[in-house]
């Protein structure tokens, strides 16, 4: 990926990993457009980064996505990079048989990127140096049992990204997958942002940008901290890893 001179859309860009990426790319000399539901967070981010742009997007609404995409193409005709980062993560007790949270996660985390990609891909493929980056998770490879639907959506995003990369082979587009570990954000509430067991956000962003800059042909962006999850299956010890990982996370959750 070319590290500067792009026009980049980042969904979920008002907080967490999305904001971290937006500010890092902005500092590298890219035109960055952040999108998300919460206008107050978008406005705060833009105010702190003069020159950055923002647009409100309800990623759960398919009609809104189409309207958003058409306006985006008109307002930013040089758009060549899309980072599908918006997502929600909620714990679920499957014994309760409730589905509202699961449906919201599927709509936001999976259908959102698929719909936005469909609306923008023909336009992107006409641009110089087009890049589509999805954001999955280490939990796509070793699920956290307390968040089953979230993990399932991220596994689906990984699969979707592989298929997209294969289908776009022969075009000029780069298809990248960013695979975060457990990072200090507010994805599951304020406590997560200071959890010592999570990777500090600034460290994650710094290592991610270093990989993008120094390994421009990488298709999967994996910081060192996520590799035990990403390659658990290849280690031949998946079952033990899965149990130890989930036992440890359940114990940590119970302690709070």
Provide the annotated active-site residues. 150
User: What is the token pair recorded at 14?
Assistant: 């008002």
Tracing tokens 């993008």 back to the chain, one arrives at: 212
Residue 169 exposed, middle or buried by CB count within 10 Å (0-12, 13-18, 19+): exposed
Cα-based torsion angle of the residue sequence 170, 5, 17, 199 in order, rounded to the nearest 10 degrees: 90
31 forms bridges with which residues in the sheet?
Answer: 7
Rounded Cα distance, 118 and 12, in Å: 18
Termini Cα distance of the chain: 41
Strand order in the sheet with 174-178: 53-56, 31-36, 7-11, 81-84, 131-135, 174-178, 220-221
Name the packing angle between helices 112-124 and 148-167 (round to 10°): 20
DSSP output for 102-163: HHHHIIIIIIHHHHHHHHHHHHHTTSSS-EEEEE--GGGTS--TTSHHHHHHHHHHHHHHHH
Q: Please say whether the beta carbons of 58 and 37 come within 8 A.
A: yes
């Amino acid at each position: 990926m070319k590290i500067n001179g792009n026009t980049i859309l980042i969904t979920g860009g008002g907080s967490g990993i999305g904001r971290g990426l937006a500010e890092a790319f902005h500092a590298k000399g890219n035109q960055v457009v952040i999108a998300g539901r919460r206008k107050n967070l978008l406005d705060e981010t833009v105010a702190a980064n003069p020159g950055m742009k923002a647009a409100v997007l309800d990623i759960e609404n398919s009609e809104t996505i189409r309207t958003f995409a058409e306006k985006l193409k008109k307002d930013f005709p040089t758009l060549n990079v899309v980072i599908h980062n918006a997502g929600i993560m909620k714990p679920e007790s499957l014994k309760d048989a409730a589905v509202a949270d699961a449906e919201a996660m599927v709509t936001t985390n999976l259908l959102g990127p698929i719909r936005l990609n469909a609306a923008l891909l023909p336009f992107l493929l006409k641009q110089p140096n087009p890049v589509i980056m999805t954001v999955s998770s280490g939990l796509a490879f070793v699920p956290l049992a307390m968040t089953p639907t979230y993990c399932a959506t991220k596994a689906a995003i990984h699969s979707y990204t592989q298929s997209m990369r294969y289908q776009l082979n022969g075009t000029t587009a780069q298809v990248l997958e960013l695979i975060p570990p457990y990072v200090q954000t507010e994805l599951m509430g304020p406590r997560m942002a200071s959890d010592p067991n999570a990777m500090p956000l600034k460290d994650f962003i710094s290592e991610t940008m270093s990989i993008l800059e120094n390994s421009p042909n990488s298709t999967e962006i994996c910081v060192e901290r996520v590799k035990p999850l990403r390659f658990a299956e290849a280690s031949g010890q998946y079952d033990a890893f899965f149990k130890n990982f989930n036992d440890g996370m359940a114990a940590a959750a119970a302690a709070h």
